[in-house]
Amino acid sequence: MEVGMAGCQSVSARQWAWGLAGAVAAAVAAAALGIWFGSDLVGWFVGTGATAAVPLVMRSHRKAYARTCYVMGVALLIWSFLGAMFLMLWFVPAALLLLVAAFVDADNRPSSRFVVFTPLAGIATVAAMALL
């Protein structure tokens, strides 16, 4: 199947179902990890695991999907390192995959300003929260 600049490859409903099932499985795995590590961490693990499903909401808008993948990847990466003492480092691979997913489509990559501004905004947010 040839994919041009104007067209995009269609994804069948079955593939989306598998993708959603994978997101649900990731959330369940995160909850299981949370229960295994302690019942106080279940909400944190489920909330962190659910962020990986956020880009699926943007599936019909290619530009928004790429940017959402990038923002969620950066946010998840920052959160993983901040929550390292709560075993959130388990989510670093998911963050890196979201960052890669943002740049897969050569015709639809986030702009350089967006790529630079997003991590800086994340770091500024963390610094502002630390000062409060």
pLDDT tens for each residue of the chain, 132 residues long: 444 444 556 656 556 656 666 666 777 777 777 777 777 777 788 788 777 778 877 777 888 888 888 898 899 889 888 888 777 887 888 888 888 878 877 777 888 888 888 888 888 888 888 887
Q: Which of 48, 51, 53, 123 is nearest to 87 (CA)?
A: 48
Give CA 45 to chain center in angstroms: 14
Tell me, yes or no, whether 1 lies in a domain. Answer: no
Question: Domain limits at 86?
Answer: 13-131
Tell me, yes or no, whether 100 lies in a domain. Answer: yes
Tell me, yes or no, whether 2 lies in a domain. Answer: no
- On whether the pTM is more than 0.75, the answer is no
What is the model's pLDDT at position 10?
Answer: 67
Structural domain count of the chain: 1
CB atoms within 10 A of CB 47: 13
Tell me, yes or no, whether 40 lies in a domain. Answer: yes
Under 8 Å between Cβ of 49 and 31: yes
The two tokens of residue 49 are 């695991």
Tell me, yes or no, whether 21 lies in a domain. Answer: yes
Tell me, yes or no, whether 59 lies in a domain. Answer: yes
What is the model's pLDDT at position 105?
Answer: 76
Tell me, yes or no, whether 6 lies in a domain. Answer: no
